[in-house]
Amino acid sequence: MNYYFFNTDSDDGDARKDFRTCDLWFDNNMAFSGNNWEKYGLPLRRLKPADICLMYHNRIGIVGVGRVLENWDEHPYKNNKLVYIYNHFAEYRLSVDWYIDIRDNPVDSLSEFGYVPPRFLTQILKQNIDKATDLVRRLEMQIEYRGPDELYLPPNLQEGRVRNVPVDIHERNPIARKECIEHYGAICNVCGFKFSEKYGSIGDGLIHVHHVIPLGMSKGIHQVDPVKDLRPVCANCHTIIHRQIPPFTIEEVKIFIESNRNITNKR
């Protein structure tokens, strides 16, 4: 799996200028380019299903994260079928699931990566992969179980400014959460932690609910089985689960705990 920057309105391209092109990308679940085949078409061959793309919009920042769904079809769209570029050029399209939408709370690429992506498609190089995976992990954790009060803030340690932040997140079903906890109990499925045993009655019923298949990897509205698809986990274990993309499994995190326990006992 590779990581890429997509610039929705790069200065070297022929994107429409009459409205925000990033909105087109979200509306169509596509990445677009156009004009010269060698410069704007062929680079799309590099992208493979499951590659992660950061959507960048000039003078706004990183506005979304997506996952490539299929190989590029190599088809040039023309004339009245155009969506993204001017009518006298061919248009190229790649199907991408833009599953994180932060258009109203964009990320500053200079703060995160130290540069602004200059071209319509830029692979994130090896020395910046850790930065990319960490950013996506943080954003996915926000989608998985955080609220609007814990949305992305740039890493400059400033706090206190009041912000009104609308946000698109994957909707959860509270009934499924309730049935999951009723089945398994409010006990961490990984380490066995129970809030009420640690903090008393104030911790009764407190627990995170983890989606075995992250919502960001699910396509649209789907049926949830509270027993098969969800697991109660404590905040600490939930954080460890999402230390990588795709997340660690519950079984893998149990192995981490047991392995560390064995190492500690040998000291």
pLDDT attached to residue 159: 47
- Which residues fall within 8 angstroms of residue 213, CB to CB, at 6 or more apart? 229
pLDDT attached to residue 195: 92
Q: What is the amino acid identity at position 184?
A: Y
* E strand or H helix at 141: helix 129-145
CA distances from residue 246 to 10, 12, 58, 84, 117 in whole angstroms, order as listed: 29, 33, 29, 31, 25
pLDDT attached to residue 156: 46
> Which residue shows structure tokens 């995170």?
208
Cα angle 32-62-78, degrees, rounded to a multiple of 5: 10
Burial of 248 (0-12, 13-18, 19+ CB in 10 A): middle
**Per-residue confidence in pLDDT tens, the chain, 267 aa:** 899 999 887 544 454 555 577 888 888 888 888 778 888 889 999 999 989 999 998 888 999 999 898 899 888 877 656 565 555 677 888 999 888 888 888 999 999 999 988 888 999 988 999 999 989 888 876 665 443 334 444 444 444 444 444 443 444 566 788 889 999 999 999 999 999 999 999 888 888 888 887 655 555 556 778 899 899 999 899 888 887 777 899 999 999 999 988 887 776
Question: Can you tell me the distance from the alpha carbon of 157 to that of 111, in angstroms, rounded to the nearest whole number?
Answer: 12
pLDDT attached to residue 12: 44
Question: Can you tell me the distance from the alpha carbon of 148 to that of 142, in angstroms, rounded to the nearest whole number?
Answer: 8
Q: Where are the domains of the chain?
A: 3-150, 174-266
pLDDT attached to residue 197: 94
pLDDT attached to residue 131: 92
pLDDT attached to residue 185: 94
Beta-carbon-side half-sphere exposure of residue 92 (alpha carbons within 13 Å): 22
**Domain 3-150: top CATH class:** alpha beta
Q: What is the amino acid identity at position 37?
A: W
pLDDT attached to residue 237: 93
Query: Among 247, 245, 209, 246, which Cα is nearest to 229's?
Result: 209
